[in-house]
Amino acid sequence: MLSLIRLPRVFTINQVPKAFHEDGIISGYRHPCSSATDCVLSLFQLTNETLNIWTHFLPTWYFLYKLLTVVLMQDAWRDVFTWPLLVFLLSVCVYPLASSCAHTFSTMSPRARHVCFFFDYGALSFYSLGSAITYSAYVVPDKWVNSTFHLYFIPIAIFNTVVCTALSCYSRLGLPFLQYNHDIIKRYRECRSVKWGRVLRVLAFAYPYLFDNIPLFYRLFVCAGEGCTDNGNNSLHCWHVTLAFLTAFLFATHLPERLAPGCFDYFGHSHQLFHVCGIISTHFQMQAIEADMALRRPWLQTHAPPITFANTAGAGLLCVALSLCVIYVFSVPLYWTPAEKGKHGRKAKTPARASD
C-alpha cells in the first residue's frame, strides 16, 4: 500500500536552512516547508528524524497502558494515596507524545519548528513536576518527612517548571519583546544559538532534575543509619539515576555523530540514543516509585503530610497553565513579524518540493 504513495524527498545539510541543521548529521533532512501530510508520510520513510519519532511514540502507549491499569484496577479515584502516581503516569504519557509530535511536525516552517519544541519543553517541565510530586509522596527518606524542605518541596518544584520552560524557550529565541525583525539581532541570535542555545537547554533541564532528586540523592548517596529508607528499591533508583545521567551526556555531547559526521545520520545518532536511554530511565523510575509506594504505604500514611488535590492534580494543572502562558509569550512574537527576507528583499531560498 505504501509503495503506491509518493513519499517526500529528503535533502542534505547544504540544501536546508541553517535553523534546521543538526551537529554531525549530513543527510536525511526533510523539506523545511513540509505540509502536515508530508510530515505524517515521513514517518514511514527513512529520514534522520524517523527513529526520533518512533522511539517516543511507541513508549507513549506503554505508559498509557500503565496509567489505565492504575485507574481501572486500583480504585484510584477514591484512594487518595494513588493520586501522586496518577499525576506522574500522566506526565510520562505526555512528554514522549509531545516529543514525537514535535519531531514529526517541526519541518512545516522555521516558526512551526520553534513552537513545536516549545510544547516539547513544556511537557518535559510537567514530567519534572510529576516526578517531584511522587518523590514528595513516596520516595523522600523517613528522616526528612515533615521537614521544612519537605513542606516547601512541591511549591519550589512548581516554580522550577516555569524556570525550565522559560529558559529552554529563551535558548531558541532570546527575549520575545526584542525587535525580532532587526537584521543585527537575527544574525546575533543565529551565531549565539550554535554556541549557547544547547548549553542553556542543558541547564534548563538539569536544574529541575537535580532539585527534584535531592531527596533521592540524599537517600542513596549520603544518608546512613536509621531513617534513611534503605530498602530493596534503591537498586531500581540507582538504575534510573545512572541512565538519566547517560541521557544528559548524550544530549550535551552529540556523540557519536560528532566524531564521524555522516555515519550516524539515520541510525545510532545521539538524539536517538538520548530518547532510548530516557525512556528506559523513566521505566526504572516508574518501577521504583511503585515499589516504594507499596512498601512504605503504612508508615507514610501515618507520618507524612496528607495527600490532597492541591499538592497533586492541582499542582499539575497549575504547572500546565503556567507553561502554556510561557509558551504563548514566546510564540506570539513569531507571528507578529514578517517572514525573514534576504538582503534584496526576497525570501530566502529553500529546496524544491518533491513535486517540483
Query: Which DSSP string do the residues of 131-157 spell out, in sequence order?
Result: HHHHIIIIIS-GGGTTSHHHHHHHHHH
pLDDT attached to residue 328:
95
3 state SS of 170: helix
Are the CB atoms for 256 and 268 separated by under 8 Å?
yes
Is the residue at 35 inside a domain?
Answer: no
The predicted structure's pLDDT at residue 76:
78
Residue with cell 507520618: 303
Q: Residue 19 — pLDDT band, cuts 50, 70, 90?
A: confident
121 within a domain of the structure (yes/no): yes
Domains identified in the chain, total number: 1
- Spatial separation of the C-alpha atoms in residues 312 and 324, rounded to whole Å: 19
- Whether 85 maps to a domain, the answer reads yes
Residue 316 lies in a domain: yes
pLDDT of residue 185: 45
- Domain containing 274: what range? 49-336
- Condensed to tens digits (0 to 9), the pLDDT of residues 177-229 reads 554 444 434 544 544 555 677 888 889 999 999 999 999 999 999 988 888 88
The lowest-confidence range among 152-156, 189-193, 247-251, 310-314 is 189-193
* pLDDT at residue 315 is higher than 90: yes
Q: What is the pLDDT of residues 109-119, one digit of tens each?
A: 989 999 999 99
In a domain, 304, yes or no: yes
Q: Establish if 122 belongs to a structural domain.
A: yes
Helices (H), strands (E): how many in the chain? 11, 0
Mean pLDDT computed over 135-155: 96
> Has residue 4 been placed in a domain?
no
**Taking the alpha carbons of 290, 291, 293, 294 in that order, is the dihedral positive or negative?**
positive
Residue 40 located in a structural domain:
no
